[in-house]
Structure 1
Amino acid sequence: MSAPGGTGRRVLVTGAASGLGAALVAALAARGDRVLAGDLAETAPEGLPAGVAYLRLDVTSDEDWEGALTHVEHTWGGLDLLVNNAGVAAGGRIDMLTMDDWRWITEINLFGVVRGCRTFTPMWKRQGSGHIVNIASMAGLVHPPTMSSYNAVKAAIVALSETLHHELAPYGVTTSVACPSFFRTGLASSLRSGDPDVEVAAHQLIEGSTVTADVIAARVLKGVDRRRHLILTEPAGRTALLAKRLLRPLYDRTMRRVAEGVRRRVDPDRTRPREHRA
């Protein structure tokens, strides 16, 4: 594997056709890395940088992952960097989400990442090198109300990444997990929710951000260059995580205020219950 930040790495990016995936592909290609972009479309999306190869890759398909493995083995003889970026968005209060909603987001956001890690680990063990970058979210570290399914799968990606960070280190394999906050991306178009009030708020948060996917991609790659395990891309995210760890009562009060705001908006006539203290 080339030196961190150097050119010529062999890279696979999932969810590469739009949003953060497309921004990562462009940034990696600009560095001179050899990039394979994977996404759901049968043909390469418009605007793919020159020299970037495209492969149809449905992250929920074991056969597609085997095809990706075969492709990099035959084309490059190995892989240096896997970016598990593909994902979808979901939101809603727990009583509004169906079990199908839970299965849908888990299959894509969590099991899609698991499949990628499992597919390439034997190769990396033989190589004695490799770098996994799992794109999670601040929702994997800080858990606001009305996002239970999204929070849960992103927290699972954080846990998986920490496990592999230790488990694969003896084989020379590095594992990073990136946790961006809300930024402008195509993720909003995939948002699935049976809770219209929450859906509107989620769209506003995503589309109202002033941070672009290109900015997040640059910050993620900066963390990759430094071989950081946990990559936090925005000051607000770092502040929220510190508050949770060091100022837990303040964090809890903030989250309760958010939940109360949702209650007042969607159930304005319901009397607020008295809080029970242990």
Structure 2
Amino acid sequence: MFGMGSPKKPSSCANAVVTGAGSGIGRAFALEIANRGGAVLCSDINLAAAEETAGQITASGGQARACQCDVSDLGQVEALAKAADEHLPGDVDLVINNAGVGIGGLPIGETAIEDWHWTLGINLWGVIHGCHVFAPRLRKLGRGGLVNVASTASFSAAPLMGPYNVTKAGALALTETLAAELAGSGVAVTALCPTLVKTNINANGRIVGDSSKLFDRLMNRFGMSAERVVNDALNALDRGDLYVMPQFDARLIWRAKRLIPRTYALGTGLINRFGASRLN
């Protein structure tokens, strides 16, 4: 079962809500949950993309419905919960707060405030809204699982990624807090913290200049498939793990940041400047 901390309900009966399910990690979550026997409400700000994901599931014999949702709007997330009550065959017992956007390439002070607000609205407020709406339901249910998709950026603090780093750090702190609040409740909580995952986050985000080119090069060379990341995340939720870092570099950064914080910050800055110079 999906790390639900209770043998009361098999995974085949899981009723899942996945945000940002129209592509990338969100689509991979929806497909894998359905593959494991769950019913999925696929939500995305792009309804056509969510419908495509749901169509793939139903074409394979699974249960899925699509719903449009802008996670930065609390009212729409509340409406998403009502849609789940209407369309899923039982209580929601698995929530994947995945919807997110990418941004980078400019230092703090040069990144437009409008871009800060855009990123905070989706990457942080979207996760806050998802937890605000669904955590009380899971607590009352006494079983279930919740995955917040953070990033290694939540603790790596790489240069030229200020808004992204801040939102993901907030999402990680929220996940840790929620895990403590739900301890012993039968609800498992997991933070997914990958590094490079092969998605369209660069194409659909606001990553500019040399950072965009460097991101693409690193993604093509080192990016992990969304399917593998999702499989690791659901297995970690199964085990009741709070953190899942699918790649070795994520785990290395996690340790370096704690053991040698000053050296880590200096090294990260130098690596960033060297990488940018190689592109020019």
TM-score bin, normalised by smaller chain:
0.7 to 0.9
Q: Does 1:83 align with 2:96?
A: yes
- 2:17 is aligned to 12
1:41-63 deviation line (CA, Å, top 9, x unaligned): 33412652122221112212223
Q: Distance in 2 between matches of 1:263 and 1:54?
A: 41
Change (3 A) 1:57 1:108: same
Q: Distance in 2 between matches of 1:260 and 1:94?
A: 16
Displacement of 1:72 after TM fit? 2.3
TM score, norm. by length of structure 1 = 0.87
Q: Distance in 2 between matches of 1:94 and 1:238?
A: 26
Question: What letter is aligned with 1:197?
Answer: D
Structure number with the bigger relative contact order (C-alpha 8 A, sep ≥ 6) is 2
1:110-146 deviation line (CA, Å, top 9, x unaligned): 0001101111123223212232100000000111111
1:55-86 deviation line (CA, Å, top 9, x unaligned): 11221222321222112223434211100011
Q: Distance in 1 between matches of 2:128 and 2:220?
A: 29
Give unpaired runs (5+ residues) of structure 1: 269-278
- 1:140 is aligned to 154
Q: Distance in 2 between matches of 1:25 and 1:250?
A: 40
- 2:40 is aligned to 35
- 1:116 is aligned to 130
- 1:95 is aligned to 109
Displacement of 1:226 after TM fit? 0.9
Higher helix share: 2
1:151-196 deviation line (CA, Å, top 9, x unaligned): 1110110101011111122543322100000121111122214x42
The 5-angstrom pairing of residues 251-262 of structure 1 reads 251-261=264-274
Displacement of 1:18 after TM fit? 0.7
Structure with max Cα Rg: 1
Displacement of 1:264 after TM fit? 5.1
Displacement of 1:17 after TM fit? 1.0
Change (3 A) 1:110 1:5: farther
Three-state SS of the structure 2 residue aligned to 1:16 is coil
The 5-angstrom pairing of residues 1-278 of structure 1 reads 3=7, 6-43=11-48, 44-45=51-52, 48-50=56-58, 51-74=63-86, 75-92=88-105, 93-193=107-207, 195-261=208-274
Give unpaired runs (5+ residues) of structure 2: none
% same residue: 31
Displacement of 1:249 after TM fit? 4.6
Q: Distance in 2 between matches of 1:241 and 1:153?
A: 18
The answer (yes or no) to whether the contact 2:28–2:227 under 8 Å persists in 1 is yes
Q: Distance in 1 between matches of 2:273 and 2:178?
A: 38
TM score, norm. by length of structure 2 = 0.87
RMSD: 2.3
Three-state SS of the structure 2 residue aligned to 1:141 is helix
